[in-house]
Chain A
Amino acid sequence: MDLRWHHFALWAAFIGGMLALPQFVSSGTLRTIIFANYLAIFAISWDILSGRTGYISFGHPFLIGIGAYTTAILTKRFDIAVEYAIPSAVLMTMVGGLILFLPALRIKGSYFALVTLAFMELIYQLVQVIRPDLTGGTRGMSGIPTLTLGARDGFYLSFSLMAAIALSMWLLMRTRLGTALSAIGMNEESVRGSGLSTTRLKLFAFLTGAFVAGLGGAFYVHYLGSIAPRALFDINFLFTILVAALIGGLSTVIGPMLGAFFLTFLLEYLRPYLPGAERYFIYGGIALLLYMYEPKGILHLFSRGLDRWRERVSS
């Protein structure tokens, strides 16, 4: 593993700075950051599952939804304590990850993406018709127990969760395992030719991705206190996750985080000027430009700038 002290110093500075943030910013901004934190969790998990292995999943809300619905139903309908409900939700999401993994044994590329899109649509229809007394049907659920009161606590919880996930995934992906997962996305046959079981590697990626998605989905629902199927199993939500990972920088952990914060704040600041769906044109345009000129994402933009600065300093 290639670890340097300054990496940890950067992490410590980032975490320390963020934890001090509530002293300086309004609770409105904090609520925006809370959403950014959850989006970052979803984008990180999507990147582990899809960004690295190249098995582009359009079904991420499927996984998040399983986590969210499981814990919502358990706590609200069966009065089960959150301490048990959230782990069960994560386990159920990993089962969902297994289901998503089945098509990945056979198909790849755009076909895989379409099948996973069908998964999302399927669960959207299912929660509305099967046992609406449990799922709340089309209207969803409200009055789900929340874990925190107020923006400040919500911020601390969501940020700690995000930072813990990001740091552990960052460490995990810096092992050769992470390298092998990225290698699958570039040339799966060659990975097999090097004597690795790509099936096992992919299974690992799907389960880890589902684990993180389930964790994020469950905590998110306990932050919102409600669940709305139309907002959850929604193309816009799906694309926000994908675009966050894409414009941040695929096959990294920091990239999706950066992308999530960038997108959330962009959408939020555009809100006063463009209250409707027009905002999505702007963000689509930015994503397009970035993708044309720097397909490796914002993270790469930063590291290139850093390199240039270093050159100028040394010369």
Chain B
Amino acid sequence: MSFLQIEKLDAFYGKALALSGVELSVEEGEIVAIVGPNGAGKSTLLDSILGLTTTNGDICLDGNSLIGTGSAAIVKCGVGYAPERCNLFPYMTVRENLLVGAFTSRENIDSNLELVFKLFPQLREREHQETSTQSGGERQMVSIGRALMTSPRLLLVDEPTIGLAPKICLEIAEVLRRLCKQFGTTIVITEQNTNFAMTLAERLYVLETGEIKASGTVDEMRNDARLTEAYFGT
């Protein structure tokens, strides 16, 4: 069994079906990207892993089922979630934002803070600045930083590059790569930017209208017509 194993997952918002029959597996120490257009269900998939939606099917982390355990327990199991950067706490400082992420991993607060500041030196300088006054790139860093405060073994990053300058995208990609190589963190990102996804991830899943349409390694997918189809239709 894989590190993260999702089987026959359906997810609902109320009665509306947002994901149906999703099968996905991620090995330990791997970077996997979920790509797809707006409304494909990418964020829903991450929300579901975290137990924030109503689901059928099974999600296992390291052999333990996460279904029905509640988000607090799931984060404690080692799932860190960096939502889109508009989901920060705007009127709090960078430091306070990070500390809200630190409730499940209290013993490691200092070392985790140090890690975040080492990965994103910019944040150290802006430690006491309100996040509402920061640039998009910095807020994205805070979002990832907040997730790292939970000492995750599996890091979920929702659209890390949305609306960011190419240079910042590269910076963020570099940090995620480093997390994976140096610290063995398994990473799942969602992306609309397939080029970015292909330079960062080892494997891709294509999600469209709530279903997995294709999957494979970057090389396999590069010339796959289904990828372009998902975006442009036939």
Interface residues of A (CB under 8 A from B): 176, 179-180, 182-183, 186-187, 189-197, 251
**Residue among A179, A192, A195 making CB contact with B150, cutoff 8 Å:** A195
How would residues 93 to 130 of chain B score, 1 for a CB under 8 Å from any chain A CB and 0 otherwise?
00010011111100000000000000000000000000
Residue of B nearest to A186 (CB): B89
**Residue among A189, A194, A197 making CB contact with B100, cutoff 8 Å:** A194
Contact across chains for A192 and B99 when beta carbons are under 8 A apart:
no
Contacts of A251 in B (CB 8 A): 91
Contacts of B75 in A (CB 8 A): 193-195
User: A194 with B92: in contact, given A176-B99, A189-B87 (CB under 8 Å)?
Assistant: no
Contact across chains for B96 and A186 when beta carbons are under 8 A apart:
no
- Kindly name the residue among A186, A191, A193 whose own CB sees the greatest number of chain B CB atoms within 10 A: A193
Contacts of A195 in B (CB 8 A): 71-72, 74-76, 101, 103-104, 150
**CA of A143 to CA of B89 in the docked complex: distance in angstroms?**
50
Contacts of A191 in B (CB 8 A): 100
B88 within 8 A of A: yes
**Interchain nearest-CB distance for A180 vs B (Å):** 6
Contacts of A193 in B (CB 8 A): 50, 52, 71, 75, 81, 83, 87
Contact across chains for A189 and B52 when beta carbons are under 8 A apart:
yes
**CA of A251 to CA of B91 in the docked complex: distance in angstroms?**
10
User: A183 with B52: in contact, given A193-B71, A195-B71 (CB under 8 Å)?
Assistant: no
Contact across chains for A190 and B88 when beta carbons are under 8 A apart:
yes
B57 within 8 A of A: no
Contacts of B149 in A (CB 8 A): 194
Contacts of B72 in A (CB 8 A): 192, 195-197
**Residue among B50, B70, B92 making CB contact with A179, cutoff 8 Å:** B92
Q: Considering the complex of A and B, which 7 residue pairs feature the smallest CB-CB distances, nearest first?
A: A195-B75, A195-B104, A186-B89, A190-B87, A193-B81, A194-B101, A183-B89
Contact across chains for A190 and B83 when beta carbons are under 8 A apart:
yes
Contact across chains for A179 and B52 when beta carbons are under 8 A apart:
no
**Interchain nearest-CB distance for B162 vs A (Å):** 16
How would residues 57 to 94 of chain B score, 1 for a CB under 8 Å from any chain A CB and 0 otherwise?
00000000000001110111000010100011111100
Contact across chains for A179 and B96 when beta carbons are under 8 A apart:
yes
**Interchain nearest-CB distance for B45 vs A (Å):** 14
**CA of A196 to CA of B76 in the docked complex: distance in angstroms?**
9
